[in-house]
Amino acid sequence: MIKKSLLSAAALTAGMLSAAAPALAEEKTEFKLAWSIYVGWMPWGYLEDSGIMDKWADKYGITVDIVQINDYVESINQYTAGEFDGVSATNMDTLSIPSGGGVDTTALIVGDYSNGNDAVILKGEGGLADLKGKPVNLVELSVSHYLLARGLDTVGLSESDLDAVINTSDADMIAAYATSDVETVVTWNPLVSEILGSNPDANNIFDSSMIPGEILDLMVVNTETLADNPAFGKAVAGAWYEVMSLMAAGDEAALTAMAEASGTDLAGYKAQLAATEMFFDPAAAVAQASAPELPTTMTNVAEFLFDKGILGEGAPSADFVGIEYPGGVTTGDAGNIKFRFDTTYMQMAADGAL
C-alpha cells in the first residue's frame, strides 16, 4: 500500500514485460488509470469516488476508470503490460520499468515532488560522514536507495564505504529501528514521522528537501494512446486540476476523504502534505517539467538505475533510454526515446483551455 515498494521483483520481470507489447494505440473511448496509496496520489482516488473524473470524461465523450492497486510495483507492471493506459509512478520507476522495458511513456501530470517525505535517519548524534563503516537499513532499489546514494555523494562517500545495505521491508522498518543492531534507516512517510516522533535518539541527517525536484510523483500514460486520443489527456488534466483547486483552497471535505482513504486523519494527512511540494497550480507543474535542472536530475537517476542493474533488461549504458523534455531537449539515446515530459495538457489547464 506504500508507493515506494521494493523494486527487485520489477527488475526480475522487466525482461518479460519488454517482450509483451502494450495494447495497440488507436482512437477509443474507454480508458483505465491505475494508482496506489501515497500522499501525493490520494487525489486520484478522490477523483473516482467524487464523480469529478466522470464529469470531465462525459464532457469529452469518453469514460475513464481509475483503479486502486494495492501493490505499487504491480500497478506499474500492469501498465507496462498494456492493461492500463496510465499509472501513478515516480520518475525513477517510470524510467526503470515501462520506459526501460520499451514502452514509450509520457508524464501527463507532474503532481508533486518529495520535499522531506523521504529521509535518512541516524540513531544518535552525527551526520552523513558518520555512516562510513556502518550498516544502513532500507528498501533496496527504491527511492530510499537513491536518496542514500545522493546523500553519500554530498560528503564524498559511496555505498562501498558502508558496512552493508540491509534490505528491510517498509512493513518492518519501525520494528527494525527499535532493535539495538540497527543504526541507520532510510524510509518515507508516514514511517519517517513515526520514527522521528517516537524516538528521542532519531536524527534526520538528510532528506528529500535537500534534493528538491529529484523525486517526482507523476501520472504517466502510454504515449501513443495519448497522441491518438487528445480527449483523454484533456479530461484527465481537467479533472486533476479541479481537485487541485479544492486542495489549494483547503476544502476539508475533500482533504478528509483523502486522509481517511490513506489510513490517517486530517491532521496526519496535512502533516504529510507539508513535506510534499504539491503543484496545485498547473503553471507550477509546467515550470517543474520545464526546469533546466530536470535533465541533470534524470541523468543522475539513469546512472543510479544502471549502476544497480535495473535500467531495462541488458541496458549497455546509463544512456540506454532516451528522455525528451519540453523544447526538444533530450538526454540518453535520442534514437530510443521512451520517456517524455510533455507540458501540453498541464499548459492547457493553466490557460483555462480545457
pLDDT tens-digit profile of 142-189?
889 999 999 999 999 999 999 999 999 888 999 999 999 999 999 988
Distance (Å, whole) CA 116 – CA 209: 5
Q: For the segment 204-253, what is each residue's pLDDT rounded down to a tens digit? A: 999 999 999 999 999 999 999 999 999 999 999 999 999 999 999 999 99
Residue 106, C-beta contacts closer than 8 angstroms, at least 6 positions apart = 220, 221, 222, 223, 226, 339, 340, 341, 342
HSE value, Cβ hemisphere, 13 Å, CA-based, for 281: 4
Does the structural domain 118-210 have CATH classification 3.30.70.100? no
For the chain, give every residue range classified as CATH 3.40.190.10: 8-113+215-350, 118-210
Q: Name the DSSP class of 95.
A: I
Can you give the length of the chain in residues?
354
The whole-angstrom distance between residue 52's C-alpha and the CA centroid of its chain comes to: 23
**Nearest-angstrom CA–CA distance, 211 and 271:** 20
For the domain made up of 8-113+215-350, give the CATH fold.
Answer: D-Maltodextrin-Binding Protein; domain 2 (3.40.190)
Q: Give the single-character DSSP code of 96.
A: I
